Amino acid sequence: MELLDARVLVTGGTSGIGASLVQSLTAAGARVVTCGRDAERGAALAARHPDVTVLRSDLSEAGAPRRVVEDAAAALDGLDVVVNNAAVQVHDSYVAPSPGIDLRIAHELAVNLRAPLEITAAALPLLSRSDRGALVFVTSGLAVFPKKTAPVYCATKAALRTFATAVRYQVADEAPSVRVIDVVLPLVDTPMTAGRGDDAGKRSPDDVAARIVRVLGGSGQTVRIGKARILPVFERMAPSVGRRILRKG
């Protein structure tokens, strides 16, 4: 796919992989709209990329995901690509839950799962009008082998991959020009993983973003990056080893 002048919405562009994606996409000539909650980081991003529209939006709020799609489509006069990137990762014990856990569950479900579903419902009719439509879901190796400390995060990523597969069936029949891509990531060095895992083993967000941009230019549907490429081997040959390695997170 040619990205020059492509009209792209990336959610969660104010930090980590999303910020690197904004950088890589604009370098490839795409016109980009992104969103996030943090006003300061949003202003810094807009200053670095004066051509990028940064929407201040909390995707956990009712109606916000559809509004983001509508505002992005209005700013870009349509949409060619949507990257569902924004997410949060919450660590909770379910054996000894701390106060407020129900609110944290609702918030994590809303950002990681409900928002991409609603964004898909709002965006797919627009993407199907494009001759280079692509709908991307940023998922994780933890969708395959979950880690102990973040059960809801892992469950939302697994649900997102299943949703992507079902939507891909719909698109194949009714909007064949749209590609539905799920990107399975390994551990990446971003604020989400600060203080978690072994820093030396983390991929850089710039590398990962550059790879996602190359994926948009190619033809794959399920794309595994870095160490996530080995997951299907563990799934087939040694699932207990995969479970043991990833459960620690």
Ligand X SMILES: NC(=O)c1ccc[n+]([C@@H]2O[C@H](COP(=O)([O-])OP(=O)(O)OC[C@H]3O[C@@H](n4cnc5c(N)ncnc54)[C@H](OP(=O)(O)O)[C@@H]3O)[C@@H](O)[C@H]2O)c1
DSSP 1-63: ---TT-EEEEE-TTSHHHHHHHHHHHHTT-EEEEEES-HHHHHHHHHH-TTSEEEE--TTSTT
Binding mask 103-142 for ligand X (x = CB under 6 A): --------x--------------------------x-x--
Chain centroid to CA 152: 16
| 38-53 CB burial, b ≥16 within 10 A, e <16 | eeebbeebeeebeebb
Ranges within 147-206 binding ligand X (CB under 6 A): 185, 187-188, 190-193
Binding mask 9-28 for ligand X (x = CB under 6 A): ---xxxxxxx----------
Of the pair 143, 178, the CB lying nearest ligand X is at 143
Nearest residue relative to ligand X (C-beta): 16
Picking from 47, 243, 249, the residue whose alpha carbon sits closest to that of residue 145 is 243
Of the pair 17, 126, the CB lying nearest ligand X is at 17
Of the pair 128, 149, the CB lying nearest ligand X is at 149
58 belongs to the binding site for ligand X (CB under 6 A): yes
Of the pair 113, 175, the CB lying nearest ligand X is at 113
